[in-house]
Amino acid sequence: MTKNLFIAVCLLLLPAISANAQKREYAMVVHGGAGNLSATENDPVRAPLLYAAMDSALLIGENILAGGGEAEKAVMAVICYLENNPLFNAGKGATVTAEGAFELDAALMLGKDLSAGAVAGVKSVKNPILAAYAVMTQSPHVMLSGTGADHFAAEQGLETVDNAYFATPRTLEWIEQLKRESGKNGTVGCVALDKHGDLAAGTSTGGMLRKRWGRIGDAPVIGAGTYADNQSCAVSCTGHGEYFIRHAVAFNLCARYKYLHESVAQAAEHIIHHELNADEGNGGLIALDKDGNIAMPFNSVGMIRASLYKEKTAPASVRQVGIGKALK
């Protein structure tokens, strides 16, 4: 290779080298549900509790990611924390079915090999996200449901509880509030990119208020409410599940990124604001691409979300928490 040709090749490679140097060391996004959050955002008691909870979720995840931990471990730790927090419609604090019981769904997917696990309609697993992980790692299946999923979780040694555990003193008050705030949806989710370049996505929910007939939403459906692929993005959705299933929202976003070469923000915005709408498909999503770029659009009145990322050249991470439309 001549000297001039060598210089020309190096100049052509400079943009790629610069882009690689700007990739984020790690990143994470968390959501706590979407809907009509105008009252919650201005509640002097509840809003600070939600801000504190989301900030705690970021700290839990960052402690794992900053130490070189795997994305799936960060996702599970964050979602376990949210499942144990009665502020959210997942785990303890879940909403009730028409029969007055609690049925929970969760899913986990790893971008490095597309492995996935999910549970739907479980009634006695304290942390459904751990049951989803057990399905992924300890069974040949992707999704288990109902009594069978509860039995499987117990066989795996996961902590089980009486169904009444999921109720809280706020449950009845929350149900009455939900009746007034018809646009409110509840789910929690987390997506993460670790230092190894691996993506993971997880989602957990107590489901739709007064759901009947064993209804299952998008949260545990791989490709609808949860998806991760190291070649594209990690996605977790929250909202009116039937529409997110019909539009295969989580996979759809990854496909637009991979095949249409849209940015994660462009793909997410198109799906939430053009394929879905606030009347049919109310909700939002969080997403990370393989470089750590973040998207968290919603078409509802608001969404509870938080994010952090660490640039390779920066001494500290950047963190944001928001309720409704405001971020701080």
> How many Å apart are CA 201 and CA 109, to the nearest integer?
5
Q: Residue 187 catalytic?
A: yes
On whether the CB atoms of residues 182 and 13 are closer than 8 A, the answer is no
Marked catalytic residue, from 40, 95, 187, 203: 187
Instruction: Identify the CA nearest to 27 among candidates 113, 91, 111, 105.
Output: 111
User: SS3 for 320?
Assistant: strand
Specify which residues 29 forms β-bridges with: 191, 307
Q: Tokens standing for 79?
A: 């979602």
Please give the distance of CA 43 from its chain centroid, rounded to a whole number: 24
Answer yes or no: are the C-beta atoms of 125 and 97 closer than 8 Å.
Answer: no
Query: In this structure, what are the phi and psi dihedrals at residue 26, rounded to the nearest 5 degrees?
Result: -160, 165
- Residue 225 CB partners (closer than 8 Å, separation 6+): 107, 187, 189, 203, 217, 218, 219, 236, 237, 238, 241, 244, 245, 249, 250
Cα(57)–Cα(270) distance, rounded to whole angstroms?
A: 28
Structure tokens at 228: 């991760």
* 162 to 1, 91, 123, 125: CA distances (angstroms): 73, 12, 8, 9
CA–CA gap between residue 185 and residue 209 (Å, rounded): 9
Which of 173, 180, 182, 200 minimizes the C-alpha distance to 61?
A: 200
What does residue 137 show for φ and ψ, rounded to 5 degrees? Answer: -100, -20
**Residue numbers annotated as active site:** 187
